[in-house]
Amino acid sequence: MAQGEEKPKMTLIAYSREDFITRKISSVEEALNVEGYNVIWVNVDDSALAPEVLEALGVQERVLKALKRAGGRARVLVFPDYLFLILHQVYEMDGGLKRERIGLLLKGNLVVTLQEMPGDVFDQIRESIREGEGLFRERGADYLLFALLEAIVENYVPIIERISSKMESLEAEILSRGEKGVLHRIHGLRREILFMRRTVFPLLEAFRKLELEGGRFFAEETQNYMGELHDHVLEVLEILEGQRELANSLVELYYSTLSMKTNDIIRILTVVSTIFIPLTFITGLYGMNFRYMPELQWRYGYPVVLIVMLIIAISMLAYFRRKRWI
């Protein structure tokens, strides 16, 4: 390790109805030696520590392999004495979306969260535990696991709302201007919607398996919340499906608006061309160099021709307007 480089640390939170502690720890064994608390939560901020942590907890090597190859799908692994879940947190970064894999372990009164890097969506949970707010201090580790899963799903909502807000702005912009850059931005939002859908959709299967096979790890009162969690995922997916359809509609609206503007331009050009056809005929007629054209010798011939041309142009414009072609 380079000089001055800090070894990655873990964060311990332990609590019961009356007591609460939180501190940095350097190994999971320190958490295992903590006694007198109903729930122990260890948060690991570096994926490089995952093998060390899982080995210390007696977790099968299969779990570590699953964590490494999880890719874009959520998974639930159920064992006789512990549960392991693989989900994804989503963040907005550099104008786009970034996905971070997270592992969650429930074993007895111990909950372990394995993250790839510092930063998560659990700050509200930590604050509630610290202040004794809600049911955390009264419930066990299973309720904490449920709350962590709910926080991950809840974090999808503001991202989806931002996408909806952007699509509303784009719709107004399409109707007002319809510039080429709008289409590029619509396709960018479609990619974000598909990104979110690929992240959220596997949760249905994962949470269904969690209810069916992992129910014994949850107290009866907590099992009632798990159904709500599944319903919440369904609601998020319905919103994403609606956004996907809206994005497709925006593309169609863009091309319809573009087609209408093109038609307007063609109509205007057609009107102008139609008006100039008789005027061109008149100027062409008098542009012929025949010797005997009596109008050429007439003193008022030139202004009369100009007036006739003006009358023709005005008459045609009035006719087009009456027909509502312009």
| pLDDT (0 to 100) of residue 99 | 86
**Residue of higher predicted confidence among 42 and 261:** 42
Query: In order of start, what are the domains of the chain with their CATH numbers?
Result: 10-258 (3.30.460.20), 265-322 (1.20.58)
Tens of pLDDT, residues 179-215: 667 888 888 888 899 989 988 988 888 888 888 888 8
| Among 37-46, 117-126, 260-269, the least confident range | 260-269
How many alpha carbons lie under 13 Å from residue 84 in its C-beta half-sphere?
A: 20
Average pLDDT over residues 249-263: 83
pLDDT given at position 4: 45
Q: Residue 93: which H helix or E strand, with range?
A: strand 83-93
**Mean pLDDT, residues 290-314 taken together:** 80
- Mean pLDDT, the chain, whole residue set: 85
Give the list of residues 6+ apart from residue 171 with CB closer than 8 angstroms, or none.
250, 253
Per-residue confidence (pLDDT) for residue 11, from 0 to 100: 92
In this prediction the pTM is 0.75
pLDDT for 8 = 52
| pLDDT band with cut points at 50, 70 and 90 for residue 227 | confident
Report how far apart, in Å, the C-alpha atoms of 32 and of each of 18, 47, 53, 59, 129 are.
20, 20, 11, 14, 20
pLDDT confidence tier of residue 21, bands split at 50, 70 and 90: very high
